[in-house]
Amino acid sequence: WADVLIVNTPHPGRKRLKLEYEDVAQWNPRLIYADVTGFGDQGPDAELPGFDITSYWSRSGLLSMTRDAGAPPTWPVAGSGDNATAVGLYSAIVTALYRRERTGKGSYVSTSLLAEGIWAASVSIQGALSGAKFYGLHDRKNPANAALNVYRAADGTWFVLLVTPDKVEAVVKAIGRDDLLTDPRFSPANLVANMAQLTAILDEVFGAQPMAHWYEVFNGAHVTFGAVRDPQEVINDPQLRANDIVVPLEGAGGKLTSTISSPIQVHGVDKVTAKRAPEIGEHNEEILQELGFDTKQIESFLAGRVVTEPRELAAK
């Protein structure tokens, strides 16, 4: 009956519930069975439970690399690995739906938090596979390149700065430090040995003006930079609503009037209006009717508590 069934229950639980692919495909050969696990369907850890903190972040190597030198691994943003994995699973589902459109056949598609974490860390993981030698962890005070670093403005705002070689002269002039261009400490022959000194100078320069000032300076020099924002600042970013990243939300009530839209746009096609999530069981009767059950059958389901009315669930 369904076009797609998404399952994230570990395989032992699926076997008990008879929700493995072989169990459900016999009822609907056109079904797209979408399987997401912590560590993949095969191997010694296939049946282990996994969260994004363990499977996506820790096991993939991402957590070891997203920190500064001398700092221990930190707790990553909640749900970030889950959201990335959901987009990967969506890609698999859409591919399977296209295949079904062409062949009439259903599919069993899968991904895992581990696979998606490895994909996110693929630049480094592929480097390791190629026998690459890695730089140490980023050290803000003594970076490999002071032009690719994190600095703090006078108002306390941290920002990421990426100055490509062709922009160096424009930037040092824009910040009022033309002398850095002729300082022998920062000549090509001596620059690496004096990177910490250059960073200290830039710290002092950037710490003398607020972020609004540097926003104008960097934009004027066409330099890539990004202010580090917290969630309360992010929701007021005009780019979000201008690009339908945050959209109106219908029916939630109270102060909840906006929500985050999916990150995918198909130009010329309007997205379905964002609405509140349904209550548990809210559409039970409607779905049962669509599946062909008549009123008496549905009433018997309710009486036997095969399905539960939404108001009963809300009262508990």
Question: For residue 28, what are the contacts with CB-CB under 8 A and spacing of at least 6?
Answer: 1, 2, 106
39 within 8 A of 116, measured Cβ to Cβ: no
Question: For residue 199, what are the contacts with CB-CB under 8 A and spacing of at least 6?
Answer: 140, 141, 142, 143, 146, 149
Burial class of 27 by CB neighbour count within 10 A (0 to 12, 13 to 18, 19+): exposed
Render 116-173 in DSSP notation, one character per residue.
Answer: HHHHHTHHHHHHHHTTPPPP-S--TTS-S-TTEEEEE-TTS-EEEEE--GGGHHHHHH
Q: What local confidence, expressed as pLDDT, does residue 311 receive?
A: 61
Q: What local confidence, expressed as pLDDT, does residue 316 receive?
A: 47
CA distance 265 to 271: 8
**pTM of this prediction?**
0.85
- Secondary structure letter of residue 186 according to DSSP: G
| Cα angle 199-64-89, degrees, rounded to a multiple of 5 | 120
**Chain-centre distance of CA 16, in angstroms?**
32
What domains can be seen in the chain, in order of their start residue? 4-129 (3.40.50.10540), 148-228 (3.30.1540.10), 284-315 (no CATH)
List, for the chain, all residue ranges whose pLDDT scores fall below the cut of 70. Answer: 1, 311-316
Q: What is the pLDDT of residues 70-93, one digit of tens each?
A: 999 999 998 999 999 999 999 999
CA distance 152 to 160: 9
Element (H, E) at 174: helix 168-174
Helix, strand, coil share of the chain (percent; to 5) = 45, 10, 45
CA distance 253 to 249: 9
50 within 8 A of 38, measured Cβ to Cβ: yes
Q: What local confidence, expressed as pLDDT, does residue 10 receive?
A: 87
Q: What local confidence, expressed as pLDDT, does residue 2 receive?
A: 87
Q: What local confidence, expressed as pLDDT, does residue 280 receive?
A: 86
141 within 8 A of 197, measured Cβ to Cβ: no
69 within 8 A of 40, measured Cβ to Cβ: no
